[in-house]
Chain A
Amino acid sequence: MLVRRVRTWLPGLLLVAPSIVAIGVFVYGMLGWNFRLAMTDKHDEVSEGRFVGLENFIGLWDQPRWHLSVNHAIMFTVVFVLGALVLGWLLAFLMEKGIRGEATFRAVYLFPMAISFVATGIVWRWLMNSGMEERAVGLNRLFDAIGLPQWQWFRDPDWGMAAMAIPAIWQMSGYVMALFLAGFRGVPEELREAARVDGCTEWGVYRHVVLPLLRPVTLSALIILGHISLKVFDLIVAVSGKQIITDVPAVFMWVAVFDSHDPAKGATIASYIVLSVAIFVVPYLIWSVRKERRS
């Protein structure tokens, strides 16, 4: 009996075995390896690296540059996630009931996703050029022409990271639109009709029928945008390079590994990035797998 059961599932297990090993080693093994490295004093390429516990994790907070990069990441995340969510939702809302040329609209809003941050970073660096007055190019020149004020964009010491979120919103809001559009269209017409028959206004139908059903989509979008935001790297490098003024943890890690040759510090920063993502991705995964099993 047992032998027969084993014989039914063993071939399958063997077929996925290479992937299990690969994921085990390259995802979990290496995450563990990285955490261990972060708990050593291997602050140059050659030293042995003794175990020092959480020393590096605590010590990082003594560095002004770390505070700066964390603050930047928070500001970027808030502006980017809210911006992409609101704009994506608005686009979907405007198209929800069908509109002439919908396919073209969708194609235009979605195309930035196909292009790399490195390529679009080049044009955004030009658009958000900080030159003012007669030296102004990009948006500053355009704003001047239509009477809007010029500003420093990503070079602004206080709001620079909000400007940095603009290209990211441009890149990702089409995706959010697609998610919401699928969500809107997933609401059965009978449900809306039933609510109308019950005397709901169009706004009431939206408020009480459609919005609650969009909650799972909103959550998915939030998780996807959030995890992209916390590890943002190529956009920053492409737009501003490795400047302190736009430092985020992922760029700081690169500097620690390549410029300061400090593996333990790089690993510590990387660990913080992983933890910040895991805090909300892990519960989300558990929740969504459970939900799928129930249905």
Chain B
Amino acid sequence: MTAVAAGRRRVSTGVRLGVLLALVVVFLIPIYVLLVTSFKPLTEADPSQAWNLPQTWTVEAWRVAWEKLAPGLWNSVLLAVPGSLLSCALGSMNGYVLSKWRFPGADLLFTLFLFGMFIPYQGVMIPLVQLLVGLNELTGLQFYGAIPGLVLAHVIYGIPICTLIFRNYYVTIPDELIEASRVDGAGMLRTYWSVVLPVSGPAIAVVIIWQFTSLWNDFLFAVFLTGPTSWPATVMLNNIAGAQATPYSQQMAAAILASVPTMLIYVLLGRFFMRGLMAGALKG
């Protein structure tokens, strides 16, 4: 490489780095605002100080936000943990069958499943409410207006994406492995249990992270299907923030609190989070 070309290359790397850094600053502005505002006392809620760091730091807003939001956070845990585990179990079985134990029409079925991934949930909302209300009357249990109904909805509408992730992962298991197990006389479930499941780790991680995040962040289903005692964190947060009397500092502290679990997952398990995203793009 000539000196000129090398020089040009260094300049272009510098420009690229500069633009990327500037965009990092832009991307982090909302986070700066959230953090800074959440530590401000009420006396600093003055527009002229909007962008300044707090003069006196206080966790008062965090304390109040925690008090208001805690029941919602707990509801979200009750929703997202069993919900993502159930999704995982269903997705794994479906993915196994659709990749390794195929039956006539499996491709068509898979395409029909996939459409479920893209349907706007508005299109099923009203009937879903009616069905869950009906289930309440039929069984005497709480489906509509409580966590179980919300879990049910998320698990069912999560089938497409979970099946897709597991199917794309299981396709990479060599068919010979399945064949060998069959030759040894193992049936479908036996093969699943002792050959497929033990190597499923990465796919399980991806699905649990994906489902946990979407259950935790969901608002639409929660607003339609739950009542005040079962509101998850998102709905409660929206109500807290919607009240005119709530100071910005409390709103922002509550917003951070409601995002801690998914942020933790993102920081600790970002690689798997990423893979889930890519699966959503229909790319294996």
A→B interface (CB under 8 Å): 9-13, 15-16, 18-20, 22-23, 26-31, 33-34, 37, 91, 94-95, 99-100, 105, 107-127, 131, 134-138, 141-142, 145, 170, 174-175, 178-179, 182, 217, 220-221, 223-224, 227, 230-231, 233-234, 237-238, 241, 249-250, 253-254, 257, 263, 266-267, 269-271, 273-274, 277-278, 281-282, 285-286, 288-289, 293
**A149 to B234, alpha carbons, bound, how many Å?**
34
Q: A99-B17, A293-B107 are in contact. Are A288 and B23 (CB under 8 A)?
A: no
Residues in chain A near residue B48, CB distance under 8 A = 134, 141
What is the CB-to-nearest-CB distance from A95 to chain B, in angstroms, rounded to a whole number? 7
Binds A, one of B94-102, B137-145, B194-202: B94-102
User: Shortest CB–CB separation between residue A84 and chain B, in angstroms?
Assistant: 13
B189 within 8 A of A: yes
Distance between B172 CB and nearest chain A CB, rounded to angstroms: 14
Distance in Å: Cβ of A138 to nearest Cβ of chain B: 7
| B101 in contact with A11 (CB, 8 Å) | yes
User: Separation in Å of the A167 CB from the closest CB of chain B?
Assistant: 8
For B136, what are the chain A residues with a Cβ–Cβ distance below 8 Å?
Answer: none
A170-B30, A282-B115 as given contacts; A179 in contact with B20, CB under 8 Å = no
Contacts of A124 in B (CB 8 A): 30
Chain B residue nearest in CB terms to A235: B219
Interface residues on B, range: 35 or more
Which residues of chain B come closer than 8 Å to A254, judged between CB atoms? 223
Question: Which B residue sits closest to A104, measured CB to CB?
Answer: B24
Say which residue of A110, A234, A293 sits within 8 Å of B274 (CB atoms).
A110
CA distance A39 to B136 in the complex (A): 27
- Chain B: residues with CB nearer than 8 A to chain A? 13, 16-17, 19-20, 23-24, 27-30, 33-34, 37, 47-48, 50-51, 90, 93-94, 96-98, 101-104, 107, 109-116, 118-128, 131, 153, 156-157, 159-160, 163, 187-189, 213, 216-220, 223-224, 234, 237-238, 241-242, 248, 251-252, 254-256, 258-259, 262-263, 265-266, 270, 273-274, 277-278, 280-283
